[in-house]
Structure 1
Amino acid sequence: MKFAAIAIAAATLAAATGSTAVAAERVSDMDYMRASRCKGLATTLTGVVDAGSIDAYLKSAKGARSPVVYDRADAEFDRAKREARSEDRKARLTAELTGPCSAYLGGPAVTAKR
């Protein structure tokens, strides 16, 4: 009887730990859309940040998301590219790219540690 109780407790603990690890690595939909915007900035403002790093982040964070999230992320990407073409916004967008966007220069696990 004691063995069964210990086995059940151990299984419950293992299941809880595993689901916590998965939840910690899951990237929110909002972060996914922000990273897509950052990719749009990085592809247009060349030489500031490597767009490939952000693209790798997006690929690793893709997961099973709603089609609405993918559509919104694409719209953010396109909007960021349009904004980055404007000369009067370049300084502000470069600051955004080197500041908040630097959080998306690694995989989701790296971002969770920052």
Structure 2
Amino acid sequence: MKVAAIALTVVSFAIAGTAAASSRVTDLDYLKANRCKGLAVGMGSADTTGLDAFIKAEGRSRDPIILSRAEEELHRAQRQAKDANLKDKLSAELAGPCMAYMTGGGSPATSR
């Protein structure tokens, strides 16, 4: 009986460890990263290498619907970046929450 309990405990920890090791970000984070790229490109930010790598790596396993929505977010952000009335707000967004994606990390809430 003890052997079965120990085996069950070991299997439980192994499963929990595998789930914790999974670092895939949510679809929402992926969409936000695409928005950040659109802002960066639209506002002429110099280096989007980390952001491009993040989007490429995370986009590999996304559903086609999410990929399509991400493309829409990117283009919407590029259009918004051209609006002079939104420059300050979008600059703050680019310098704030978008920095987590630009450094190749995940969500600002989940980055460590």
- The bucket for the TM-score relative to the shorter chain is 0.7 to 0.9
- Separation in 2 of the partners of 1:14 and 1:65? 26
Deviation of residue 78 (structure 1)?
A: 0.4
- Separation in 1 of the partners of 2:107 and 2:70? 21
Structure 1 residue ranges (4+ consecutive) displaced by more than 6 angstroms after TM superposition: none
Counterpart for residue 84 of structure 2: 87
Counterpart for residue 14 of structure 2: 14
Write out aligned runs for 1:70-85 (5 A): 70-85=67-82
Counterpart for residue 51 of structure 1: 48
Computed over aligned residues only, the root mean square deviation of the Cα atoms, in angstroms, reads 2.3
| Cα contact 1:35–1:54 (8 A) shared by 2 | yes
- Separation in 2 of the partners of 1:65 and 1:50? 25
Give 5+ residue unaligned stretches, structure 1: none
Matched position secondary structure for 2:59:
coil
- Separation in 2 of the partners of 1:109 and 1:54? 10
Deviation of residue 69 (structure 1)?
A: 0.8
Counterpart for residue 103 of structure 1: 100
| Cα contact 2:31–2:69 (8 A) shared by 1 | yes
Normalising by structure 1, we get a TM-score of 0.79
The one-letter code of the counterpart of 2:111 is: K
Count of residues paired in the alignment: 111
| Cα contact 1:27–1:108 (8 A) shared by 2 | no
Give 5+ residue unaligned stretches, structure 2: none
Deviations 1:59-112 (A, max 9, x none): 222242221111111000001111112222222211111012112123346853
| Cα contact 1:41–1:93 (8 A) shared by 2 | yes
Higher helix share: 1
